[in-house]
Amino acid sequence: MRQIIDAELTWTGEKFERGIRVEVDESGAIGRVGSAGEPTVRLQRQALIPGFSNAHSHAFQRGLRGSGETFPAGSGSFWSWREAMYGLVERLDRETFYTLCLRAFEEMRATGITSVGEFHYLHHSPTALDSQERDYAFDDVVLEAARDAGIRIVLLNVFYKSGGIGVPPSRPQRRFVSDGLKEYWSNIDRLQSRASSTSTIGAVAHSIRAATPDEIEELHRESRQRGIVFHMHVEEQPKEIEDCVAAYGATPMEILLDRLTLDEKFTAVHCTHSTAENLRRFFASGANACITPLTEANLGDGIPDSAPLLDSVSQLSLGTDSNNRISMIEEMRWLEYAQRLKQQSRGVFRTANGANAVSLFNAATRGGARSLGLPGGMIADGNVADFAAIDLDAPSLAGSNESNLLEALIFGSSEEVILATCIAGKWRTHRQKPIL
Ligand SMILES: [Zn+2]
């Protein structure tokens, strides 16, 4: 149904403005910003922002929250955490997997996330653990859970072949693997035939551990032909780089730079240990990097070099990754804070005019939409009508005004300020405004 939204404040790309009406058409897209029609949705004492785009998630890992946070055998690492994650992989049946995905997606919505790039590799039913049976049944479960949560999804469906460079898949990894590219693409064809107005499909090479350079090159070439986005974990761990150099004589990023025709549809997730020089070459191609500050902090992964990121800030996106904590507001804050702690200085991701919060906000909105290939991330004519409504009476925002609301939101608040989200024109209330 056509609607005209009238919020007290509306984010128009550079600032919050008063008196902006946003028209949403029947198809769930923004018809016009600044429409003069009579409002049908009045958001009193609320600010309208574009919904957050979560560019990297593994929804089922929500099932690990609260686990693996004690260290009786000494300090842990990404690799010890991965063993715990594989334990979960061995336990999940269809019902428990659906429940975890639904829980994660609903929690995302309630924190203002309106689209998710679900980097999905747990494809097969548990029977795959002890047989060669590959049914890709869990791909459909992810789509079902997203539909039931009402969240927009880009199913980033993973190609996974080996258990490490030159290593066969382990028992839990049998639930991830494809026999080859032909099987992978025929499953993508099947999924694309099921896509809806709020679900699309993207291609993925899990990492240099799970696919060879030849397979990655071929996968990427086909994804370009199909015009779909392509994501890959890149240089999250020093060991991944060492193993890759030992096997192929080059780092994962160097292999991508040398062999692939990178463009704005390509997203490298993490780039934590990438060299500044490689990252500059990578961004010059137009490609995106997705940073996941809370997961990287939780896993003790490290912090990427900020200098090349600063030069290409419009190519940055954010992801909730392991979903140990789901909060895009906190991801924005920690993108900046990790660098402040490392550099002992403030205002790292600042614009030419000295603004800071807007760069972080753009990563969580426009940058995420760019990475996922979605016409969104901005309240602009023709974009998807995906929004979040902010409570201007929230105690954590008290004392701020339209000129510093964005800063108060990012550095001083959390999901308690998100009253409602709208996806393709359909609203859902998450919290009631307190009765004053
Ligand atoms: Zn990941």
354: number of Cβ within 10 Å: 7
Q: How far is the CA of 296 from the centre of ligand 1 (A)?
A: 10
Q: Which two tokens stand for residue 261?
A: 């025709």
Q: How far is the CA of 3 from the centre of ligand 1 (A)?
A: 37
What type of residue is 374?
A: L
Sequence-ordered strand ranges (E) for 299-410 = 316-318, 387-391
Q: Which two tokens stand for residue 220?
A: 């990427």
- One-letter-per-residue 3-state SS of the chain: CCEEEEEEEEECCCCEECCCEEEECCCCEEEEECCCCCCCEEEEEEEEEECEEEEEECHHHHHHCCCCCCCCCCCCCHHHHHHHHHHHHHHCCHHHHHHHHHHHHHHHHHCCEEEEEEEECCCCCHHHHHCCCCCCHHHHHHHHHHHHHCCEEEEEEEECCCCECCECCCCHHHHCCCCCHHHHHHHHHHHHCCCECCEEEEEEECCCCCCCHHHHHHHHHHHHHHCCCEEEEECCCHHHHHHHHHHHCCCHHHHHHHHCCCCCCEEEEECCCCCHHHHHHHHHCCCEEEECHHHHHHHCCCCCCHHHHHHCHHHEEECCECCCCCCHHHHHHHHHHHHHHHHCCCCCCCCCCCCCHHHHHHHHHHHHHHHHCCCCCCCCCCCECCEEEEECCCHHHCCCCCCCHHHHHHHHCCHHHEEEEEECCEEEECCCCCCC
Tokens 């904590």 sit on residue = 325
pLDDT for the residue 142: 98
Q: How far is the CA of 329 from the centre of ligand 1 (A)?
A: 19
pTM: 0.97
d(CA 328, CA 319) in angstroms, rounded, equals 8
**Phi, psi torsion values for 388, nearest 5 degrees:** -130, 145
Parts of the chain with a pLDDT under 70? 434-436
Q: How far is the CA of 21 from the centre of ligand 1 (A)?
A: 38
Cβ proximity of 115 and 156 under 8 Å: no
d(CA 46, CA 393) in angstroms, rounded, equals 8
Q: How far is the CA of 57 from the centre of ligand 1 (A)?
A: 7
| 392-435 residue pLDDT tens | 999 999 999 999 999 999 999 999 999 999 999 999 999 987 65
Q: How far is the CA of 120 from the centre of ligand 1 (A)?
A: 9
Q: How far is the CA of 270 from the centre of ligand 1 (A)?
A: 8
Residue 332 burial (C-beta neighbours within 10 Å; 0-12, 13-18, 19+) = buried
Cβ proximity of 172 and 86 under 8 Å: yes
pLDDT for the residue 436: 52
pLDDT for the residue 398: 96
Q: Which residues surround ligand 1, an ion (CB under 5 A)?
A: 321
Cβ proximity of 108 and 47 under 8 Å: no
Residues annotated as part of the active site: 270, 321
Q: How far is the CA of 84 from the centre of ligand 1 (A)?
A: 15
pLDDT for the residue 50: 98
